[in-house]
Amino acid sequence: MALRKILQILLVLIILVSAQGSEFTREPYLRKASSFSSEASQARYDYIIVGGGTAGCPLAATLSQNYSVLILERGGSPYGNLNVSYMQNFHISLADTSPSSAAQPFISTDGVINARARVLGGGTCINAGFYTRASTRYVRNAGWNDELVNQSYPWIEDRIVHKPKLAPWQAAVKDGLLQAGIGPFNGYTYDHLYGTKVGGTIFNERGYRSTAADLLSSGNTENLHILLHATVQKILFKQAPGRRPRAIGVLFKDENGKQHKAFLKYRRGSEVIVSSGTLGSPQLLMLSGIGPKKDLNKLKIPVILDNFHVGKGLSDNPMNTIFIPTKKPVEQSLIQTVGITKIGLFIEASSGFGQSSDSIQCHHGIMSAEIGQLSTLPPKDRTLAASKEYARTKHQLPREVFQGGFILGKIDGPLSKGRLSLIDSDVDTTPNVTFNYFKHPYDLKRCVYGIRTIERIVRTSHITGLTDDTGYSTQMLLNMSVKANVNLIPKHTNDTASLEQFCRDTVITIWHYHGGCHVGKVVDRDYRVIGVGGLRVIDSSTYVDSPGTNPQATVMMMGRYMGVKMLRERLGRGAGV
């Protein structure tokens, strides 16, 4: 029996190794950035895409059908990284603060811990996997062509999206949403519809994650050149007297810190496309000399174009969660079902984390629950020693604190706006980021509405069937949730009579930040950077609001959409793509 067990384990390991491959062998067109000097220093490209993320991968795959494309991705490969590939490791990936992690943590000036992707495939490698389209109103306001949008979404869906097998906690929350009045039930659909629905997922039935990086296999690999661990430091411009500046290439460093230059071809239509995300894109524009002149002068960055709006209008969809202890451990699940209200408040759910003794005792540094508990202390008292002391005594917490599920309330289109600003001229320094959560009173009003809606859901028969309903009052659940939510905001434990205070104390992110390169202010309707030539920004930094209940579907769609549109412009309307 023991021998059989050992053979089974070995077989699983062989399958995993053969399925995953190493960082550079599964996809032969993936190369280290240091290979550029020996192989491609004289090459020029029709398109240089800065960032192989959620938008950059489908964009590159599409453009490569007819043109040479260079992707410069600062992170590594998702292939062979089990933290990326498997749903069960979702929280471990986010807790990993090592330099090679696919998730790079940062803390906004609001005190909320957040993460940005640092891996080929971008946010699709570290998110909760939920897939749902933007509303028809969103598409109309963006000025996108309906026909092309409706061709671009299925291109993504046919390749990497699956129908989820609904987990018990997800089913209970779905039925609880309907019983609490969030109807009608719209079934399984990608469409953004008021009421309750089940959406798609990029996890298959075995919990294996597909990512935007998988879309690259649909490109023309002879035209597609991808460098990993390639950090772009600035965009290079040609400045002729009396003419507007034009992007001609980029300066980047490889994994060893050696600098390289990559250039565009001398042909009409060649462009540098920045797809570095909400933080990376405005940061790179400013490092390249496009931004507020006053701020650039302070850091002695030569000004290419004075544009006050770069880095402004940043938003993050604030989220608050209520933890619901259950009588028995619940199956792990990420987002599968959602309740969509007419006031821009979404209700979602997750479950099954921290069930084992290992997860209770494990200390994950700044991303761990120890830090969340420390936020009841004044900032000056949040020391490493205090964190270790909490880790030592954490086993004394009741077991039920780590057994159950979360119901999440998330605000769509927050009216509270923030900004991003450079700290220095080093691309590796995360900028100062401020979201100003709940600065606008209507955002706070919607949060309170969400908490009250969750209270109604918790009291439905579908949830009480999984919990010991007589053991936890609403006040107890709120107090428990104050401690469960991880941020660096001083909390008011045992003072949750004010739901407004609860919202402020427990605000966390769901990684849906956007803005900083808005259409009409930094880029035009075709995402060309206003005032310079040969340069576009195509990613979530151009969004005023986050699309749908979860943005990844629309960000990937945008990459495909713009790729097709750009090909048609260069090749003619009749071009088949």
Residues composing the chain: 577
- Whether the bond between 184 and the residue before it is cis, its omega within 30 degrees of 0, is yes
First-to-last C-alpha distance (Å) of the chain: 55
Long-range contacts of 444-449 (CB under 8 A, 24+ apart): 444/500, 444/503, 444/504, 446/343, 446/344, 446/345, 446/411, 447/318, 447/320, 447/345, 447/409, 447/411, 447/499, 447/500, 447/503, 447/507, 448/499, 448/500, 448/503, 449/341, 449/343, 449/345
Chain position carrying tokens 């039935």:
205
Cβ atoms within 10 Å of 398's Cβ, excluding its own: 9
Q: Rounded distance, CA 78 to CA 20, Å?
A: 9
Q: Rounded distance, CA 158 to CA 151, Å?
A: 11
Q: Are 146 and 134 in contact (CB under 8 A)?
A: no
Pairing assessment for the beta strands 224-228 and 305-306 based on DSSP bridges: unpaired
Is 364 a catalytic site residue? no
Q: Name the percent of the chain in helix, strand, coil, to the closest 5.
A: 35, 20, 40
551 assigned binding-site residue: yes
Pairing assessment for the beta strands 200-201 and 130-131 based on DSSP bridges: antiparallel
Q: Rounded distance, CA 418 to CA 434, Å?
A: 5
Q: Rounded distance, CA 411 to CA 230, Å?
A: 35
162 assigned binding-site residue: no
Residue 564 backbone zone (phi > 0: left; psi -120 to 50: alpha; other: beta): alpha
552 assigned binding-site residue: yes
Q: Rounded distance, CA 175 to CA 178, Å?
A: 5
Q: Rounded distance, CA 270 to CA 224, Å?
A: 15
Q: Rounded distance, CA 431 to CA 441, Å?
A: 27
Cβ atoms within 10 Å of 387's Cβ, excluding its own: 18
- Best CA proximity match to 229, nearest among 52, 42, 28, 47: 52
119 assigned binding-site residue: yes
How far does Cα 358 stand from its chain's mean position?
Answer: 27
Q: Rounded distance, CA 577 to CA 574, Å?
A: 9
In this structure, what DSSP letter does residue 494 have?
A: T
Of residues 91, 192, 260, 512, which has the active-site annotation?
512
Cβ atoms within 10 Å of 146's Cβ, excluding its own: 10
Q: Rounded distance, CA 202 to CA 125, Å?
A: 10
232 assigned binding-site residue: yes
- Best CA proximity match to 246, nearest among 265, 267, 271: 271
Which residues carry out catalysis?
512
Annotated binding site for FAD: 119, 232, 511-512, 551-552
